[in-house]
């Protein structure tokens, strides 16, 4: 059972289980610590079992193009052109009643949040769904009229209330409304993707999520209000805790908010009983409570980050404060007693700033490995950016609450307050975007480097602290561990790679994106995927994938031909990665994506190489030969089909061979047959279209494996059944990105092929 969860996130879950177990011998009460650790292990096993069951989630089993009538409620405010969460009650196959996404158009777009509706829909399934994200397994598209279905129960009333608040937020703040929804209602579906990316790059994304910060602000406001009304401290604490629970449950009970509410409740109970609260015990109680309620929480990224940050505050704040005080005493050259206050306003300001910095560091340090593991990046400006932006956000939250409370009253006071809050939000957005655009604000970290740094630093720290604690000073132990960890981080990318050629077929939907990883760990990319609407495959899929696998730069970016599904992601790839050279057939095309690629290439300083048949490039024992197009094709005054310009590349690694065909047609395949050996891997041409994968090509090369880059669903019907039959009748294994996700094929010198998929 546990292995299923290890397949999702082995590094964080191993930390969650093994680190507490390592603390058992050091505890003065080993039975208590042992009970806690055994409970955590039980939660881990239960989470693994539940994660395994998630693979049978009913939403993943709904057939593509299924059509029927469903009854349910929208969870959020309906906006034309955007999907919203929808809770079905009746109608989905096998009685599935879990939250899905729905796109309401036309008459259906008039539905209010929480209103029980009956509507005819069609299910459009997605090809690849990340673990734990079954809500995004597909989309319900309205194909029939909408009918109210009654049912004014409490759930509907709560959802309608929240929808009404969203409508009022949009009336008062308009363009800033999506940020207000994220700050106070935990709804981020309307937020601009570029702004969300800026929050991530600047390390301030936690300010957008309803977390302990927001619940703490709400609790402080409620506590102050109740004290003003004359309640005693103990009763005010209980009232603030109850108010926080009402708020947290009203916004959907996100993990971080529930954790904060649990801690506030425990604090209030301890205050009523007149006993001090043990921070570690309170945090452990909240952790185990959430695991009991839903064991899948342990595999949740938000859950891991929430408790890692809070655990850092509990365990690291005091040691870091003592360290900062010691450094301060040495710098000023005079001792300061613990009870002595800072002298003068300047010292008080510095003291307050250092406290904020220490708090930020304590909360951030434990989250860095998790951020690097899940998102492949670490923000270098997160702590100072949070210190600058958090006070503004803290002032905005009560401003939003006051504005909403005054909005039903006559007069324009609510608009006056909304204008002030809007100014604070504009300042927040400007600061976040500015921090995100700073050079080096966010660095990419490969999992290879993360493993090396964490393993080396953690092992040395554990060894020195457990076995040499009486002989080596603590400062020396910490310095040695940190030094080895830093060295491992720097040197890990320089470690030699495997003696094999790897082909990575990146799942970019209906488009091509192939990465070749050479034996020396150098990278060459062929095509960069599509770009349409708000989806840029280069920025969303190709760059993160390459960074995750340790790519630092590209020796070459080869563009097979100037169609959008092959070159759409190229500008983003050129913007975010160092590329030494760009190769293509050099056929001028009057299209905006191609012009943007030219501009991005010139701006990046990459060399541009016109490619034609007969050219060869040899690097690290790998030879890439261009088989098509020849000069005669390139010198034609007109070309009826740009697919006829597709670069056909033969990649050789001793007896290992790969053929990359772009969107070449069957007549091009027949033209290059005389130069083809038996193939280890064939990239199926034109996404499995009838125009490619001719019988002569397959009979001549008999590839050991065939890979099909194809989206699910796609409007072309790719791959066509008769094409797949040609491969299956010859016993050629077929791998498809719409079913298998990202594909990684390792080609050895003797021609053997190993295939792994992200599923």
Kindly report the pTM of this predicted structure: 0.62
**Rounded Cα distance, 701 and 278, in Å:** 69
R_g (Cα) of the chain, nearest Å? 29
% of the chain surpassing 70 pLDDT:
74
Kindly tell me if the per-residue pLDDT of 439 is higher than 70: yes
Q: What is the pLDDT of residues 741-755, one digit of tens each?
A: 888 898 988 888 888
pLDDT level of residue 623 (50, 70, 90 thresholds): very high
Longest dimension (CA), the chain: 92
pLDDT higher at 513 or 565? 513
pLDDT of residue 19: 44
DSSP state of 111: P
The mean pLDDT value for 355-374 works out to: 73
**Rounded Cα distance, 693 and 696, in Å:** 8
The answer to whether 568 and 530 have CB atoms below 8 angstroms apart is yes
Kindly tell me if the per-residue pLDDT of 29 is higher than 70: no
**Rounded Cα distance, 372 and 449, in Å:** 10
% of the chain surpassing 90 pLDDT:
5
Kindly tell me if the per-residue pLDDT of 696 is higher than 80: yes
Kindly tell me if the per-residue pLDDT of 497 is higher than 80: no
pLDDT of residue 659: 92
**Rounded Cα distance, 746 and 562, in Å:** 28
The mean pLDDT value for 545-551 works out to: 80
pLDDT level of residue 457 (50, 70, 90 thresholds): low
Instruction: Provide φ and ψ at 423, rounded to 5°.
Output: -65, -40
* Phi-psi map region of 230: left, alpha, beta (phi>0 left; psi -120 to 50 alpha): left
The answer to whether 685 and 693 have CB atoms below 8 angstroms apart is yes
Kindly tell me if the per-residue pLDDT of 7 is higher than 60: no
**Rounded Cα distance, 557 and 280, in Å:** 51
pLDDT of residue 9: 40
Name the least confident of 18-22, 56-60, 634-638, 708-712: 18-22
Kindly tell me if the per-residue pLDDT of 334 is higher than 60: no
The answer to whether 201 and 379 have CB atoms below 8 angstroms apart is yes
pLDDT level of residue 657 (50, 70, 90 thresholds): very high
Assigned token pair, 434: 């500015």
**Three-state DSSP state, 56:** coil
Kindly tell me if the per-residue pLDDT of 427 is higher than 90: yes
Instruction: Provide φ and ψ at 144, rounded to 5°.
Output: -140, 180
Kindly tell me if the per-residue pLDDT of 272 is higher than 80: no
Alpha helices (runs of H) in 407-497, residue ranges in sequence order: 413-436, 447-467, 474-491
Cα 660 to Cα 419, 455, 516, 526, 696, distances in angstroms: 57, 38, 11, 9, 17
Degrees to nearest 5, angle at CA 548 with 294 and 6: 35
Kindly tell me if the per-residue pLDDT of 283 is higher than 50: yes
pLDDT of residue 3: 33
**Rounded Cα distance, 724 and 501, in Å:** 26
The answer to whether 358 and 320 have CB atoms below 8 angstroms apart is yes
**Rounded Cα distance, 487 and 480, in Å:** 10
Name the least confident of 265-269, 346-350, 641-645: 346-350
pLDDT of residue 296: 65
pLDDT of residue 341: 46
pLDDT of residue 15: 45
Q: What is the pLDDT of residues 564-618, one digit of tens each?
A: 888 888 898 988 888 999 988 877 777 777 788 888 888 888 888 888 888 998 8
Map tokens 């400006």 to a residue: 381
Kindly tell me if the per-residue pLDDT of 50 is higher than 60: no
**Three-state DSSP state, 713:** coil
| Of 69, 53, 57, the residue nearest 123 (C-alpha) | 69
pLDDT of residue 516: 93
pLDDT of residue 150: 64
Strand order across the beta sheet in which 705-708 lies: 616-619, 622-628, 648-653, 656-660, 681-683, 705-708, 734-736
**Three-state DSSP state, 609:** strand
pLDDT of residue 391: 84
**Rounded Cα distance, 27 and 9, in Å:** 28
The mean pLDDT value for 327-346 works out to: 53
pLDDT level of residue 423 (50, 70, 90 thresholds): very high
Alpha helices (runs of H) in 174-254, residue ranges in sequence order: 177-185, 193-201, 212-228, 233-250
Cα 508 to Cα 115, 438, 719, distances in angstroms: 36, 29, 15
CA 155 distance to own-chain centroid: 31
pLDDT of residue 337: 47
Kindly tell me if the per-residue pLDDT of 26 is higher than 60: no
pLDDT level of residue 37 (50, 70, 90 thresholds): low
> What does the mean pLDDT of the chain come to?
76
């Amino acid at each position: 059972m546990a292995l299923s969860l290890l397949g999702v996130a082995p590094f964080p879950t191993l930390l969650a289980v093994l680190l507490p177990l390592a603390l058992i011998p050091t505890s003065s009460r080993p039975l208590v610590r042992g009970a806690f650790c055994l409970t955590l292990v039980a939660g881990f096993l239960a989470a693994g079992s539940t994660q395994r069951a998630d693979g049978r989630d009913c939403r993943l089993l709904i057939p593509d193009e299924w059509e029927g009538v469903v009854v349910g409620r929208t969870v959020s405010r309906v906006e034309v052109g955007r999907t919203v969460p929808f809770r079905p009650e009746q109608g989905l196959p096998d009685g599935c009643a879990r939250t899905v996404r729905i796109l309401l158009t036309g008459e259906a777009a008039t539905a209010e949040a929480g209103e029980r509706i009956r509507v005819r829909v069609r299910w459009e399934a997605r090809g690849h769904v990340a673990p734990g994200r079954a809500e995004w397994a597909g989309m319900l598209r309205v194909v029939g009229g909408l009918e109210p279905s009654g049912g004014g129960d409490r759930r509907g009333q709560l959802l309608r209330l929240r929808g009404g608040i969203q409508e009022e937020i949009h009336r008062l703040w308009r363009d800033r409304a999506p940020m207000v929804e994220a700050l106070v209602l935990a709804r981020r579906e309307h937020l601009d993707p570029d702004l969300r990316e800026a929050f991530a790059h600047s390390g301030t994304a936690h300010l957008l999520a309803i977390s302990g910060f927001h619940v703490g602000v709400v609790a402080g406001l409620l506590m102050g209000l109740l004290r003003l009304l004359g309640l005693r401290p103990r009763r005010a604490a209980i009232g603030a805790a109850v108010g926080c629970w009402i708020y947290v449950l009203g916004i959907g009970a996100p993990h971080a908010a529930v954790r904060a509410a649990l801690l506030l409740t425990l604090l209030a109970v301890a205050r009523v009983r007149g006993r001090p609260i043990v921070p570690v015990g309170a945090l452990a109680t909240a952790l185990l409570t959430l695991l009991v309620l839903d064991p899948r929480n342990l595999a949740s990224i938000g859950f891991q980050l929430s408790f890692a940050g809070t655990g850092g505050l509990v365990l690291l704040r005091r040691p870091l404060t003592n360290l900062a005080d010691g450094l301060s005493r040495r710098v000023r050259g005079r001792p300061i007693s613990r009870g002595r206050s800072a002298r003068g306003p300047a010292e008080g300001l510095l003291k307050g700033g250092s406290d904020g910095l220490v708090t930020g560091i304590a909360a951030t340090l434990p989250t860095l490995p998790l951020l690097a593991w899940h998102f492949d990046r670490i923000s270098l400006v997160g702590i100072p950016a949070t210190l600058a932006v958090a006070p503004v956000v803290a002032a905005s939250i009560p401003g939003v609450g006051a504005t909403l409370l005054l909005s039903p009253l006559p007069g324009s006071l609510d608009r006056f307050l909304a204008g002030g809050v809007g100014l604070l939000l504009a300042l927040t957005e400007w600061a976040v975007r500015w921090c995100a655009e700073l050079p080096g604000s966010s660095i990419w970290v490969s999992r290879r480097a993360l493993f090396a740094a964490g393993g080396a630093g953690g092992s040395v720290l554990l060894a020195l602290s457990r076995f040499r604690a009486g002989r080596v000073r603590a400062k020396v132990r910490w310095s040695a561990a940190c030094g080895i960890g830093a060295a491992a981080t720097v040197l890990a990318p320089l470690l030699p790679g495997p003696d094999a050629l790897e082909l990575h077929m990146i799942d970019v939907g209906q488009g091509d994106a192939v990465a070749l990883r050479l034996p020396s760990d150098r990278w060459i990319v062929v095509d960069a995927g599509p770009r349409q609407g708000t989806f840029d495959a280069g920025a969303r899929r190709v760059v993160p994938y390459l960074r995750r696998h340790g790519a630092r730069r590209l020796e070459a970016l080869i563009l097979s031909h100037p169609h959008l599904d092959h070159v759409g992601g190229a500008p983003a790839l050129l913007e975010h990665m160092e590329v030494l050279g760009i190769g293509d057939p050099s056929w001028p095309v009057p299209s905006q994506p191609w012009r943007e690629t030219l501009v991005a290439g010139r701006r990046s300083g990459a060399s541009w190489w016109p490619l034609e048949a007969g050219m060869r490039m040899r690097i690290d024992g790998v030879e890439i030969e261009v088989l098509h197009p020849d000069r005669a094709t390139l010198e034609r005054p007109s070309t009826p089909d740009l697919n006829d310009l597709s670069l056909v590349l033969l990649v050789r690694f001793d007896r290992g061979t790969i053929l990359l065909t772009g969107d070449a047609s069957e007549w091009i395949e027949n033209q290059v047959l005389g130069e083809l050996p038996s193939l280890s891997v064939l990239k199926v041409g034109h996404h499995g279209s009838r125009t490619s994968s001719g019988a002569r090509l397959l009979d001549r090369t008999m590839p050991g494996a065939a890979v099909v880059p194809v989206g699910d669903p796609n409007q072309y019907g790719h791959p066509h059944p008769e094409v797949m039959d040609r491969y299956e009748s010859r016993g050629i294994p077929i791998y498809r990105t719409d079913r298998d996700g990202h594909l990684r094929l390792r080609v050895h010198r003797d021609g053997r092929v190993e295939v792994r998929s992200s599923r």
